[in-house]
Structure 1
Amino acid sequence: MSKDIRIKKGLDIKLVGEAEKLTTEKPLGSIFAIRPNDFHGVIPKLIAKEGTEVKAGEALFYDKSDERILFPSPVSGKVTEIVRGARRKVLEIKITANSKQEFKDFGVKDVDNMSGEEVKNHLFASGCWPFIKQRPYDVVANPNQEPKAIFVSAYASAPLAADYDYTLKGKEKELQVALTSLTKLTSGKVHVSIGSDSTLSPFNNIKGIELHKVTGPHPVGNVSTQIASIDPINKGEVVWVVTPQDVLVIGELFTTGNLNLKRIIALTGSKFNKPAYVIGYAGAQISTLTEGNLEGNNARVISGNVLSGLEVKEEGFLGFYDNQITAIPEGDDYEFFGWNKPVFNKISTSRALTFSWLNPKKKYDLNTNTNGEHRAFVITGSYEEVFPLDIYPMQLLKACMYKDLDEMEGLGAYEIAPEDFALTEFICVSKQPHQKIIREGLDLMREELG
Structure 2
Amino acid sequence: MSDVIKIKKGLDIRLKGKAEKVFGTTNLPELFAIKPGDFPGLVPKLAVKPGDKVKVGSVLFFDKYRTDIKFVSPVSGEVQVVNRGERRRILEVVVKSDNQNEAEDFGAADPKQVSKEAALEKILASGMWPFFRQRPYNVVANPADEPKAIFISAFDSSPLAPDNDFVVAGQESAFQAGVDVLNKLTSGGVNIGVNSQMASKAFVSVSGAKVSSFSGPHPAGNVGVQIHHVSPINKGDIYWTIQPQEVISLGKLFTEGVYDASRIIALTGSELKTRNYVKTKVGASISAYVQNNVEEGNLRYISGNVLTGGNVSKDGYLGSYDSQITVIPEGDEAEFMGWVAPGLNKFSVSKSFFSWLSPKKEYALNANLNGGPRAIIVSGQYDKVLPMDILPEHLIKAIITEDIDKMEQLGIYEVAEEDLALCEFVCTSKLEIQSIIRKGIDTMVKEMS
Task: Give the TM-score normalised by the residue count of structure 1.
Answer: 0.97
Q: Which amino acid aligns with 2:183?
A: T
Q: Which residue of 1 aligns with 2:445?
A: 446
For 2:407 and 2:201, how far apart are their aligned partners in 1? 38
Residues 24 and 278 of structure 1 are in contact (CA less than 8 Å); yes or no, is this contact kept in structure 2? yes
1:85-100 superposed matches below 5 A: 85-100=85-100
Q: Secondary structure at the match of 1:119?
A: helix
Match of 1:348 in 2: 348
- Tell whether 2:138 aligns with 1:128: no
Shift of 1:337: 4.0
Structure 1 residue runs of 4+, over 4 Å off? Answer: none
- TM-superposition CA deviations, 1:30-54 (whole Å, max 9, x none): 2111111111111111111222111
SS in 2 for 1:61: strand
User: What is the Cα deviation at residue 336 of structure 1?
Assistant: 4.2
Whether 1:301 aligns to 2:297 is no
Q: How many angstroms does 1:29 deviate by?
A: 2.1
Deviation at 1:343, TM superposition (A): 2.7
Question: Quick one: distance in 2 between partners of 1:9 and 1:347?
Answer: 18
Shift of 1:341: 4.2
Matches for 1:321-332 after TM superposition, within 5 Å = 321-332=321-332
Provide the C-alpha distance between the structure 1 equivalents of 2:4 and 2:75, rounded to a whole number of angstroms.
Answer: 40
Tell me the equivalent position of 1:380. 379
Aligned letter for 1:449? M
Distance across 2 between alignment mates of 1:386 and 1:36:
31
- Check whether the contact 2:48–2:79 (CA below 8 A) recurs between aligned residues: yes
Cα distance in 1 for residues equivalent to 2:182 and 2:357? 45
1:208 aligns with 2:174: no
1:333 aligns with 2:325: no
The more displaced of 40-49 and 301-310 is 40-49
Structure-1 residue corresponding to 2:16: 16
CA distance in 2, matches of 1:447, 1:345: 46
Q: Which residue of 2 aligns with 1:175?
A: 175
Contact 1:5/1:226 (8 A) holds in 2? no
**2:431 match:** 432
Structure 1 residues 326-373: Cα deviation after superposition (integer angstroms, max 9, x where no partner): 00011102334433343332222212x322222221111101111111
Pairwise CA RMSD of aligned residues? 1.3
User: What does residue 397 of structure 1 align with?
Assistant: 396
Does residue 141 in structure 1 map to residue 144 in structure 2? no
Residue 36, structure 1, aligned to residue 36, structure 2 = yes
Q: Distance in 2 between matches of 1:342 and 1:93?
A: 48
User: How far apart in 2 are the matches of 1:17 and 1:147?
Assistant: 38
Corresponding position of 2:186: 186
Task: Output the amino acid matched with 2:356.
Answer: W
Gaps of 5+ in 2: none
For residues 3 and 64 of structure 1, the distance between their equivalents in structure 2, rounded to whole angstroms, comes to 45
Q: Deviations over 1:137-182 (max 9, x none)?
A: 1100011211101100011100000000001101110000101110
Contact 1:152 1:193 in 2 (8 A): yes
1:357 lines up with 2:356 in the alignment: yes
Cα deviation code 1:174-230 (max 9, x no counterpart): 000101110111110210011112253411211010011110000000111100100
What amino acid is the match of 2:413?
Answer: Y
1:407 is the counterpart of 2:406: yes
**How far does the alpha carbon of each residue in 1:64-99 deviate from its partner, in whole angstroms, 9 at most, with x for none?**
121111111010011121112222211111111103
Deviations 1:224-278 (A, max 9, x none): 1100100011001110000111111111111111111111110000100011111
- Among all aligned residue pairs of Structure 1 and Structure 2, give the percentage whose two residues are the same amino acid: 49
Give yes or no for contact 2:297–2:329 (8 Å, CA) kept in 1.
no
Distance across 2 between alignment mates of 1:367 and 1:85: 28
- 3-state SS of paired residue (2:204): coil
Question: How far apart, in 1, do the equivalents of 2:388 and 2:158 lie?
Answer: 16
Single out whichever of 245-254 and 408-417 deviates more from structure 2. 245-254
Cα distance between partner residues in 1 of 2:389 and 2:129 = 31
Aligned position for 1:248: 248
C-alpha contact (below 8 Å) 1:25/1:280 kept by paired residues:
no
Question: Is there any run of 5+ residues in structure 1 with no aligned partner, and where?
Answer: none
3-state SS of the aligned residue for 1:365? Answer: coil
